[in-house]
Structure 1
Amino acid sequence: MSLSTKSTGDFSGSETDPSKLRVVIQCFGSRGDVQPHVALGVAMKKRGHEVCIFGSANHGPLAESMGLSFYALFEDFEHSIRTHADCLESMQNGNLQGFIRYFTSDELRQLRAEQIGPYMKNLREFQPDIILSGVGATYFGEIARHCLKIPVIGSRLSSAPIDGSRSPWGLPHLPFGMSKLLINFLEKSAYDADLKLDKIACEVTGRRLYGKVVTRKNWSGSWQVPPRDFDLLAMSPQLCEVLYPGQHENVVPTGAWVLQSAAQTAEAKKGNANFGSAESLKNLEGFLQTHGAPVYMGWGSMVSGTPTEMTRFALKTLKLLDHPGIILGGFARLSPDLLGGDRSDEELLKFASEKVLFLPTAPHEALFPRCACLVHHGGAGTLNAALRSGVPSVITPVFFDQFDHAFLIEKLGSGKGTQQLQKITAEQLARTVESVLSDEKVRARAKEVAQEETRLNGIETAVGLVEKFVSDKVRTGEWVRSLEEEEKERQRREKEPLTERLTRVSGGLQGAFAVVAVFVSLLLFFALQAGQTPFA
C-alpha cells in the first residue's frame, strides 16, 4: 500500500490574527468516526480559525465539501476493508479478534511507519497551535506532542466504565469489580501495539518514545489514566452517567458534535453524496407523505454476511412487521437489485415495491425525527442522531462500543438492544421492533432524552474549551514549559542511583503482585466451588 499525500488549503504558516487559531483535527476510521470531527472543524472555521482535517483518504470529499482543508494522512478506510479478505470476512462474521488482528498486523504497522514522515512534514508546514486527536491517531498525537512540542487534546467519541462496574464492548462481565482487569488487559494490548510501531518508527522520528517518554502511566490512549490536560468527549453528561461511571473529571462530556439538519439538507440539495441529492430528497419526501412514519433500517459501515443476505434480512423484517420502511445502502450497498436468487425473493421484492424506499445515503438529522423506529448498529454518530431525534431505537451491535450503546438505550428506556447482528434472525428483530412500536413508555422516554440532548450545544462547548486552553496555557508558554519540566524530571530519574530506582519500582511491583494474588485466589475459589482441583 502507498500513502496519498494529497493536501488542500494554505500550509504556508503565515502570520495571522493572534486571536485566531491554526487547528489540526486528526482521526481515522469510518464515516461515523469522522463526521463529528468535521462538524467540529466547520464550527471552528466559522469562528475564524484555520482548520485542516488529517484523516482517511476516502473522507477528503466530505471535509472539502464543508469548506475545510484536508490532508490524506491515512489510507482509504473503506477500500482497505473491502480489499482485505480476512478483514471483511471478520466483519461479516462478527469476529472481533479477526478484525483487531488486521488492525494490529505487521502489514498495517509498516504502513503507519511510512505515514509518519509525511505527517511530521505537513505539521511543520501547517504550524498548528493545537491538535485535536481522535479515533486511531493516538501514536501520531504522541509524536506531535513529544517530538514537535505541539499541544494535543484528545477528541473522544466514546470511553469505558473504568470503575469496573461492567465490561466494555459486549465482553463478559466479571464479578467483584474484576472487569477493571479486563479493561487493563485491553489497554495493555493497545499500548503494546503502539510500542511495536514505535520500534520501527523511531528511525523517522529520531527517538524512541514508548517505554521511556510515553509509558502506561501517561499514555494518551488510556481510559484509566487521567489526560495530561483534558480530553473532549462528544457525549452529553446524561449519557456518560450511564455509560462511564468513575470517569475522570478532565474528560469533559460536551454533548454531541453534529452537523445540523438544515446544513445536511442543504448539502444534499447541492449534490453532496454523503447526504443524498435533490432527487433523493424529493423521493424521500414523497414516500413520507404517502406512507407516514417508517421504520428506518441502516447499518452504516457495518456488514453481516453478504450484501444480498443483509438486504433479504432487512426486507423480511419489514414484511413481518407489515410496516413501511426506509433502508439505507451504507457500506454494504444494500439494494433490491441484489435479490432474485432465492424463492422467497419474489414476495420480498413485491413488498419492497409497495412499502419500502431504498436510499444510498440520507441526512440523518432531517430523516430520523420523521420515523417511527430506528434500527441501526449503534455507531457513535448514528447513536447521537438517533437520541436527538426523539424516536426509539433498536440497536443491533456488531463491534466495539456499539454493544455499550445497546446497553445505554436499554438503561435510558428509550429503546432496545439486541444480541450481535450476525446472531439474530429477521423474526427476532421483527418482534423486538414491534415491542418498541407498541410501547408508549419507550416512545415517551425517547422524547424526554431528546429534549436534554438537543438542549446542549456540544460543539460550542468544545470550541470554547479549546480556545480558552490555547489562550491560557499555550500562548502564555505555560504548556511548553510544563512539557520541558516533565522531560527534565524524566532525565533526572534515569540518572538516579540504582537503589533509588529499585525502591521506586518495587511499589509498582507490589501492586502487580497484589493483582496476581487476587486473581489466583478467585480462580482457586471458583474451582473449589465447582469441586475441581485447579492446575490438575
Structure 2
Amino acid sequence: MKVLILTYGSRGDVEPYVALGLGLEAHGHDVVLATSRRFQGFVEAHGLRFGPLSDALLAILDTDQGKALLEKGGGLFQVVKSSLEMWRQLKPLQQALIQECWEVARAFDPEIIVYHSKAAAAPSIADKLGCACVLATPVPMHVPTRAFRFAILPRLPLGGWVNKASYGLTNGVVKRVFGPLIQDFRGSLDLPAIKSYEPLTRSDGSDIPVLHGFSEVVLPRPEDWPESAHVTGYWFLPDDADWTPPDALAAFLAAGRPPVYVGFGSMSVRQPETLARLSVEALVAAGVRGILASGWGALKAEDLPENVLLIKEAPHSWLFPKMAAIVHHGGAGTTAAALRAGKPSLVVPFFGDQPFWGARVHAIGAGPKPIPRGKLTAGRLAAALRVMTQSQEMRERAAEIGALISNEDGVAVARGLIESAGAGPARR
C-alpha cells in the first residue's frame, strides 16, 4: 500500500510520524513522509523517502515576534490573539503550504494519507486522488468529550458539559480560519464546494478515523468517543541503543550519581542565558548534578560549576533512563519519552498543549505540579528538584508507569488501523 504521511511543526510533530513510517515500511508498505525541509536529514537518516515542504511557517517562531509569543505562553485565547495579529503574514504561507502538500501527493499518488491536523487540506487532497485518509495526532484536540477540555484551553473544573462545549468553541475558530482556505483550494482542484469545513468528516459525510498517539496509562480513552476515535499508545522510534555519547558526556555520567536533565526542546526564547542561569542556580541549591540541553532554544551557560554539564542534544531514549529526574517543556513527544524512561519529571510549560501534559504527569503521580515558564524561579525549581530526587513514592510510581508504557506497541496498533482504513472500499 502506498502511504503518504503529511506532518508539520517542531521535532515533536515529526518524530512520531517517522516512527509510524518505519513501522509501515517494515511491513512492506511504500511510504513518503512530507514535512518541512529542516527535517529532511532527520527523515532520510531513518531511511524514509522525503517530501519537501517549506520552512516558512516554522521560521516565524525563530523571529523575535515568534519568540515573544512562546515566552508569553498562555492558552488558546493568547494563541488566537497573537495568531490573528500575525494572520496577514501567516495566510499566504499557509496557502503555499497547502499547495505544497498537494504537489507532493499528486506526484506520489498514495492509496492512503496519514496526516497531522496542521495538514488541514489532506481530506480534500484525498477527495481529489480518490484515496483514504486518517487523522493521526499525538494530542487529543479534535474529538469532543466530556472527560477533559480541549487540550490548549485553561484548566477549568466546571464539569463535563463545559469540557465538551470547549471543542465547539475551538473547532469554530479552526473552521473560521481554515474554512475559506480549504474552499479556495477545493475550487482550484475542481472539487465541489463543501457547506463548511468539518475537521472530522469527509466531504461525503463519512467519519475520518482518528488515531491518538498516546498511552491510556497517561490518558484513558473517553467512553463518549465515537468508534472512529482510537488510542493506540505512543509512537516511539526504535531505541538508540548503539548511539555513542561524546567523551565529555560519558565521563560526566560515570563521575557521580545520576544527574537531573534540564532541557526545553524547540522552545526558542529571546534570552536563553537567563533560563540557563536560573536552571544552574536551582541545581546547585537542590544539591544535585545536572545536564543542561541547549536544543533549538540555544540555551547557553558560561562558567558552569563542575556538577553541571552543557550538551547540545542526545537521544532521549538513551539519555533519560540514566537520569535521576527530568525537567522539560511538556511537548507531547518529550513527555512520552520521560514517562517511558520511568523517571520523575517536572513540566515547565510554555504554551499550547504543554500545560495539559504537565497536568497529566502530575495527576498520575509521575511528577510534581507543573510550573509555567512565566512563574519559574530558581527557588521553585529547586524545590521541585528536591521532591523528584527524594520522594520514594514518586520514584516508584514513575518507574511503574515507565514499565507499563514500555510494554505497549503503539506503532503496531496504529499500523493495523491504517491498514484497515486503506483496505476499505476503493474510491478510485
SS of 2:3's partner is strand
Residue 62 of structure 1, aligned match among 20, 42, 67: 42
Higher helix share: 1
Question: What's the counterpart of residue 24 of structure 2?
Answer: 44
Paired with 1:88 and 1:197, the residues of 2 have a C-alpha distance of: 26
Q: Which has the higher contact order (CA 8 A, sep 6+)?
A: 2
Question: What's the counterpart of residue 137 of structure 1?
Answer: 119
Question: What's the counterpart of residue 230 of structure 2?
Answer: 252
Superposed, 1:4-403 pairs within 5 Å as 21-76=1-56, 78-83=58-63, 85-96=64-75, 97=77, 99-101=79-81, 103=83, 105-138=87-120, 140-160=121-141, 162-167=144-149, 168-169=151-152, 171-173=154-156, 175-176=158-159, 177-207=161-191, 209-212=193-196, 214-215=197-198, 218=201, 228-241=207-220, 246-261=224-239, 264-266=240-242, 269=243, 278=244, 280-303=245-268, 306-337=271-302, 349=303, 352-403=304-355
Aligned Cα root-mean-square deviation (Å):
2.5
**What is the CA-CA distance between 1:124 and the residue it aligns to?**
2.1
**What is the CA-CA distance between 1:109 and the residue it aligns to?**
1.8
Q: Deviations over 1:331-372 (max 9, x none)?
A: 2111224xxxxxxxxxxx3xx241111111111001111111
Show structure 1 runs of 4+ deviating over 6 A: none
Structure 1 unmatched ranges of 5 or more = 1-20, 221-225, 270-277, 338-348, 482-536
Q: How many residues align?
A: 421
Paired with 1:455 and 1:215, the residues of 2 have a C-alpha distance of: 36
Structure 2 unmatched ranges of 5 or more = none
Paired with 2:265 and 2:230, the residues of 1 have a C-alpha distance of: 27
Aligned amino acid, residue 71 of structure 2: Q
Cα 1:245–1:306 change in 2 (3 A) is farther
Aligned amino acid, residue 214 of structure 2: M
* Kept in 2: contact 1:287–1:357 (CA 8 A): yes
**What is the CA-CA distance between 1:166 and the residue it aligns to?**
4.4
Paired with 1:181 and 1:172, the residues of 2 have a C-alpha distance of: 14
Paired with 1:457 and 1:41, the residues of 2 have a C-alpha distance of: 14
Which structure has the bigger radius of gyration? 1
* Kept in 1: contact 2:146–2:163 (CA 8 A): yes
* Kept in 1: contact 2:365–2:394 (CA 8 A): yes
Paired with 1:101 and 1:75, the residues of 2 have a C-alpha distance of: 23
* Kept in 2: contact 1:57–1:73 (CA 8 A): yes
* Kept in 1: contact 2:147–2:222 (CA 8 A): no
Q: Deviations over 1:300-332 (max 9, x none)?
A: 112455111111121111111121101111121
Aligned-residue identity in percent: 25
Q: Which range is displaced more, 229-238 or 436-445? A: 229-238
* Kept in 2: contact 1:390–1:449 (CA 8 A): yes
**What is the CA-CA distance between 1:54 and the residue it aligns to?**
1.0
Cα 1:466–1:286 change in 2 (3 A) is same
Question: What's the counterpart of residue 453 of structure 1?
Answer: 405
TM-score (norm 2): 0.90
